[in-house]
Structure 1
Amino acid sequence: MVTATMHSREKRLERALVGGAITAAASGVAAVILSILGLVHIGPLLMTPIAAIVIGAGLLSESGTLAAEYSEILSKTRRNRWRKVEFGSGASAEMLAGIAVITLGILSLLNLQPLVLLPVSVITLGACLLLSTGAKALLNSMRLEIPENHRRAEMVAHTTLRGAIWVQVIVGLAAIVLGILALAGWVPLILTLVAMLAIGASILLTGAAVSARMLSAYTAHTPPKGISHRSSI
């Protein structure tokens, strides 16, 4: 009975994390498309703030999932006070950045100094990517019960997510630099669009990697159709 309950909780956690990661990845896809459209001169002053709003919404969704599953995630990681701080700060950074970027995007759509607000949103997102790496690293360090025949897939997913985290760090730093240059007046709209494109691609990559990491465990715990677990009496 206890084992069945634990499996149920773990599957619920995995489903929640996959859902949040897929939502974030979808926002990354949308941001990439919008940024490309802006770079080819299709309404750049419209596409850029919309991309910012979409990314902000994705971050809010993901941070909400992390906050809701906070205790369950920590229960599957090593008891480390600094890990808790990293995870909490990462989830909080995503939530605050999401709110800030959505606000800046809406103000930019209203034509209130968009060439200032949009670079600021890029800098905000870059800082968010850097701060949220701790939360992603914690997800990657979760102890998941994986059967032996699924170990290889889980190891591949683990390595992929670790690589995605490093990409996120690089993109975060690049976004901050591009945002500062845009604020300084160096072709601000183009640099902002390039930064949005990179941020969207990074969020897509990380979201896909988190989904793969969780799905590797979820599929291992899901029995084939027609087979049901019988509880022992």
Structure 2
Amino acid sequence: MSVTHHGHFDSAKAASGASASEAVAGIVAIVLTILGLAHVSPTFLMAVATIAVGVAMIFRGGMVATEYASLVAEPGETRPAAADLGGSAAWSLELLVGAAGIVLGILALLQVSSMDLIAIAVIAFGGALVLGSGSAAQLNLMRLTMVGLGEEAQRMAAGILSGSVAIQAVAGLTAVVLGILALAGMGSAALILIALLTLGSFILVNGSALTGAMLMTFRQ
């Protein structure tokens, strides 16, 4: 294995580990929102779920921003052209939104305009996912190009990752719409919990999908 491919192998392992952490945060958010929908301390649990989603966004944004930086640092002959397109900005946005979501979740725990703050966090999470869906597709293409998968494995990984990107856009748009409706006072608690459940489900699916796709590289 060449030095370049060895570096990308290590990058894939790191991505797999961060994606597993992202999936765990998604599970936490799902469990908390389901309990909230069952009327078990809904305001408290949705605030904690907001913090869990924020943590997942930080894992996701940090992991991919690092990966973009690694691709940009590659020699000109091996660096994918797409690495120069500034896609890291979308992931930096996810980092900022994740941190902001954690702050809003903590303020909600302190009962500072809880519903409104969580609704704003949900809208921000959803908007970041929608804006980042194009960059996600671009990065997935880079990953498949750089890790040197076989043709059959590449097709399988491409199918997994493209499905994840589509789910990202739908989940993000759904969260934005539900968050806006919640701010308008239309069944705020239920809508926010459903939006957080949608975000948690996406995070779980995305983390699991990326982990699976990256594990394919370990077998090559």
State if a TM-score over 0.5 links the two structures. Answer: yes
The equivalent residue for 1:52 is 50
Do structure 1's residue 177 and structure 2's residue 180 form an aligned pair?
no
RMSD: 1.7
**Aligned runs of 1:46-195 on 2, under 5 Å?**
46-74=44-72, 75=74, 78-80=80-82, 84-85=85-86, 87-142=87-142, 143=145, 144-147=147-150, 151-195=151-195
Rounded to whole Å, the distance in 2 between the matches of 1:29 and 1:90 is 24
The equivalent residue for 1:43 is 41
User: How far apart are 1:122 and its partner, in Å?
Assistant: 0.7
User: How far apart are 1:77 and its partner, in Å?
Assistant: 6.2
User: How far apart are 1:157 and its partner, in Å?
Assistant: 2.2
CA deviation profile, 1:88-142 (whole Å, cap 9, x unmatched): 1221111011111000000000000001101101101100111221332123102
Contact 2:71/2:80 (8 A) holds in 1: no
With normalisation by structure 1, the TM-score equals: 0.85
Give the match's secondary structure for 1:69: helix
What is the total number of aligned residue pairs between the two structures? 213
User: How far apart are 1:210 and its partner, in Å?
Assistant: 1.5
Contact 1:24/1:204 (8 A) holds in 2: yes
Amino acid at match of 1:79: A
Rounded to whole Å, the distance in 2 between the matches of 1:89 and 1:131 is 10
Amino acid at match of 2:148: E
Give the match's secondary structure for 2:186: coil
Contact 2:62/2:92 (8 A) holds in 1: no
Amino acid at match of 2:80: R
Unpaired segments ≥5 residues, structure 1: 221-233
Do structure 1's residue 27 and structure 2's residue 28 form an aligned pair?
no
> Greater CA radius of gyration, 1 or 2?
1
Contact 1:77/1:141 (8 A) holds in 2: no
Rounded to whole Å, the distance in 2 between the matches of 1:160 and 1:22 is 16
Rounded to whole Å, the distance in 2 between the matches of 1:77 and 1:167 is 28
Unpaired segments ≥5 residues, structure 2: none
Rounded to whole Å, the distance in 2 between the matches of 1:46 and 1:205 is 25
Higher mean alpha-carbon deviation, 61-70 vs 47-56, is at 61-70
Rounded to whole Å, the distance in 1 between the matches of 2:162 and 2:48 is 29
**Cα–Cα, structure 1 residues 154 and 212, in superposed 2: closer, same or farther, change >3 Å?**
farther
With normalisation by structure 2, the TM-score equals: 0.90
CA deviation profile, 1:152-186 (whole Å, cap 9, x unmatched): 23322211210111111111111111001000101
